[in-house]
Amino acid sequence: MSDFDAHEAKASRERQEADPDADVGGIAADRLRSIIERVERLEEERKALADDIKDIFAEAKSAGFEVKVIKQIIRLRKQEPAEVEEQETLLDLYRRALGM
């Protein structure tokens, strides 16, 4: 790095420290920081929620419930009733076709 580049980098750091709201290379540093921190918080919340869901499934399993079936029911409850009925009709048709 040349003396000019080092001096320019130092001046840029000093400007940023003096005014953290200042744009750096056309980027609003505080806005960028805010966005990143919000995403990081949401990712932490998502991990906590995933851990909570895992704990609930463990509780269901210890109570004697089949977790796979519970997950299927949850998936079905998200669908429209007509869509569920159509899938069940096709499943029944396919089973009969296979002699099941």
Reported as a pLDDT band with limits 50, 70 and 90, residue 33 is very high
Query: Are the CB atoms for 60 and 67 separated by under 8 Å?
Result: yes
Contacts of 84 (CB under 8 A, 6+ apart): 76
User: What pLDDT does 96 receive?
Assistant: 96
Q: Measured between alpha carbons, how far is 88 from 100 in angstroms, rounded to an integer?
A: 14
Instruction: Return the closest-CA partner of residue 13 out of 29, 31, 32.
Output: 29
Distances in Å between the Cα of 31 and the Cα atoms of 13, 23, 27, 88 are 18, 10, 8, 50
The tens digit of pLDDT for each residue in 57-76 reads 999 999 999 999 999 999 99
pTM for this entry? 0.62
Tokens of 40: 């990081």
Task: Spell out the domain ranges in the chain.
Answer: 1-63, 66-100
More confident residue, 21 or 14: 14
Q: Measured between alpha carbons, how far is 23 from 57 in angstroms, rounded to an integer?
A: 48
User: What pLDDT does 5 receive?
Assistant: 66
